[in-house]
């Protein structure tokens, strides 16, 4: 084949292929072959690739049950951790790990990731897959810093928080640690699925690659390096996979040292396709565990203010927003299934109303993912240990704190009504 013909064919093939994936145009998401803006309500299910594994603590029967349950609720967008890194000796972290030593990946867990993508493709579900973590519950920053000789990170919980911040701020300026992460990114995104025989870059189950869960510079002096690292990583991902979207995984304002200019800067990058926002009223002290319901009016005001400040620059840079994490505890701050969820349901409904209102107005808040789906699992203890069911509460948090179980009938009903309203608006 002549070079010119080959070039034309290649360009044509790439254009056609690009039409098979979720895209962003004019501040909106679009599904393949659709001219209608795509708005969604999804969930977080970070542990899905572990369930999909044939190895230790894998449970494919449960995985398929959870996916079917979510699909039946009309939820087809999941936010997922690609895989955990070995954590600090000072922290309770995810087990098993995809990466215990940098560059050496667990083949059994990679097979689980392949299987998960296959099952999601079968159900026409899509996922946002994050590749790193600023927090030590899945290794992340602290793993790579340990790999370059800086030792174990302090525990990010409680009194160790400030020490953890100081330790982790090094990641944004440590190119040796970053290069180890970029090598990992190359391995994951260049992979071919062992079940579908399809390269990951061609999988319709991937909506977006996400650089990191809640990336932070962890200090003013690290901001410049933070921007450079995100920019460098986004460019690498796009070079390896031009078909899928790329996002930062940022909490927004609070994830950028309360610096809105920094928040705008990292999302204005050419290779970042949309804006991410997280909302945690209790963690951010907009509410307290003893006043969950009575503080809701204040929570609504603070949530609206937080979203408004991000909407301003979303319009400015022409990109949609996803509220990809939000959560609220059960009554009495209980962790047990069956505990009333009146306050949680009200907060969920408020977030859903923001997406529904945006959909009606054709505005930029394009979706949300509640944190998170616990499904048929149940907490064995308040503190997670290997062998316990995987909930959406990570190992460092009380088990059952933010997870939605399949018998949380009022919460499931709240989600179901919102999803149906979203779909009804599309048909009108």
The yes-or-no verdict on residue 154 having pLDDT over 80 is yes
Q: How confident is the model at residue 8 (pLDDT cuts 50, 70, 90)?
A: very low
Query: Is 384 in a helix, a strand, or coil?
Result: coil
Question: Is the pLDDT at 2 greater than 80, yes or no?
Answer: no
Contacts of 216 (CB under 8 A, 6+ apart): 134, 168, 226, 251, 255, 256, 257
Q: Give the confidence band of 29 by pLDDT, cuts at 50, 70, 90.
A: very high
- d(CA 44, CA 372) in angstroms, rounded, equals 5
Q: In which residue are the tokens 């190895």 written? A: 55
Per-residue pLDDT for 12 more than 50? no
User: Distance (Å, rounded) from C-alpha 223 to C-alpha 205?
Assistant: 33
Is the pLDDT confidence value at 141 over 50? yes
Do residues 111 and 53 touch, judged by C-beta distance below 8 A?
yes
At 74 the three-state DSSP class reads coil
Q: Show Cβ contacts of residue 134 under 8 Å, excluding neighbours closer than 6 positions.
A: 140, 141, 168, 212, 213, 214, 215, 216, 218
Residue range 242-254: average pLDDT? 99
pTM of the model: 0.95
pLDDT tens column, 38-67: 999 999 999 999 999 999 999 999 999 999
Please report which confidence band the pLDDT of residue 301 belongs to, taking 50, 70 and 90 as the band edges.
very high
Chain centre to alpha carbon of residue 421:
24
pLDDT at 332 (0 to 100): 86
pLDDT at 95 over 70: yes
Residue in this structure with the two tokens 């001219």, named with its chain if needed = 35
Strands, E assignment, 76-181: 77-81, 99-101, 104-105, 126-130
Q: Are 282 and 293 in contact (CB under 8 A)?
A: no
- Counted residue by residue, the chain has a size of 428
Given a cut of 70, is residue 424 above it in pLDDT? yes
Helix (H, G, I), strand (E, B) or coil at 79: strand
Instruction: Identify the CA nearest to 129 among candidates 140, 110, 113.
Output: 113
Contact 370, 79 (CB under 8 A): no
Average the pLDDT over 266-276 and give the result. Answer: 99
The answer to whether the CB of 390 falls within 8 A of the CB of 62 is no
Identify the CATH homologous superfamily for domain 30-427: Glycosidases (3.20.20.80)
With 80 as the cut, is the pLDDT of residue 13 above it? no
Residue at token pair 């503190």? 383
User: To which residue do tokens 């494919």 refer?
Assistant: 60
Quick one: pLDDT at residue 182? Answer: 99
**Counting beta carbons within 10 angstroms of the beta carbon of residue 89, is it exposed (0 to 12), middle (13 to 18) or buried (19 or more)?**
exposed
For 204-244, write each residue's pLDDT tens digit: 999 999 999 999 999 999 999 999 999 999 999 999 999 99
Calpha distance 369→44 (Å, rounded) = 6
Give the whole-angstrom CA distance, residue 199 versus residue 332: 47
Q: For tokens 């907060």, what's the residue?
A: 347
Which helix (H) or strand (E) segment holds residue 10: the answer is helix 3-18
**What was the pLDDT predicted at 334?**
86
| The pLDDT of residue 327 | 98
Q: Is the pLDDT of residue 3 over 60?
A: no
Per-residue pLDDT tens digits for 73-93: 999 999 999 999 998 888 889
Pairing of strands 37-38, 28-30: antiparallel
Per-residue pLDDT reduced to its tens digit, 170-197? 999 999 999 999 999 999 999 999 999 9
> What pLDDT is stored for residue 88 in this prediction?
86
């Amino acid at each position: 084949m002549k070079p010119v013909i080959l070039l034309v064919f290649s360009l044509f093939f790439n254009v056609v292929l690009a039409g098979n994936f979720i895209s962003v145009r004019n501040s909106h998401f679009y599904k393949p072959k659709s001219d209608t803006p795509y708005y969604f309500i999804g969930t977080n299910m970070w542990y899905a690739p572990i369930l999909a594994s044939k190895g230790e603590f894998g449970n494919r029967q449960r995985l398929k049950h959870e996916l079917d349950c979510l699909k039946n609720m009309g939820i087809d967008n999941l936010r997922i951790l690609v895989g955990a890194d070995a954590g600090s000796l000072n922290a309770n972290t995810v087990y098993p790990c995809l990466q215990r030593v940098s560059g050496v990946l667990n083949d059994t867990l990679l097979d689980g990731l392949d299987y998960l993508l296959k099952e999601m493709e079968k159900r026409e579900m899509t996922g946002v897959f994050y590749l790193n973590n600023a927090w030590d519950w899945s290794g992340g920053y602290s793993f790579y810093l340990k790999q370059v000789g800086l030792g174990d990170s302090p525990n990010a919980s409680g009194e160790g928080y400030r020490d953890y911040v100081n330790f982790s701020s090094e990641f944004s300026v440590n190119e040796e640690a970053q290069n180890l992460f970029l090598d990992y990114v190359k391995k994951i995104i260049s992979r071919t699925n062992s079940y579908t025989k399809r390269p990951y870059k061609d999988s319709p189950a991937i909506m977006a690659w996400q650089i990191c869960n809640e990336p932070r510079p962890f200090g003013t002096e690290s901001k410049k390096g933070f921007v450079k690292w995100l920019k460098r990583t986004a460019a690498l991902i796009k070079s390896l996979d031009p078909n899928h979207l790329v996002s930062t995984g940022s909490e927004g304002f609070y994830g950028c040292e309360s610096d809105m200019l920094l928040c705008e800067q990292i999302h204005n990058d050419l290779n970042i396709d949309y804006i991410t926002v997280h909302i945690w009223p209790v963690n951010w002290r907009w509410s307290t565990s003893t006043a969950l319901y009575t503080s809701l009016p204040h929570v609504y005001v603070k949530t609206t203010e937080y979203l408004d400040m991000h909407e301003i620059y979303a319009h400015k840079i022409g990109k949609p927003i996803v509220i990809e994490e939000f959560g609220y505890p059960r009554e009495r701050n209980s962790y047990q299934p069956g505990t009333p969820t009146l306050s949680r349901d009200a907060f969920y409904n408020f977030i859903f109303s923001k997406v529904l209102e945006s959909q009606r107005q054709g505005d930029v808040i394009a979706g949300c993912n509640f944190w998170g789906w616990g499904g048929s699992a149940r907490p064995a203890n308040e503190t997670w240990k290997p062998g316990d069911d995987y909930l959406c509460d990570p190992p460092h948090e009380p088990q059952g704190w933010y997870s939605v179980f399949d018998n949380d009938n009022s919460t499931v009903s709240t989600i179901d009504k919102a999803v149906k309203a979203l779909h009804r608006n599309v048909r009108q």
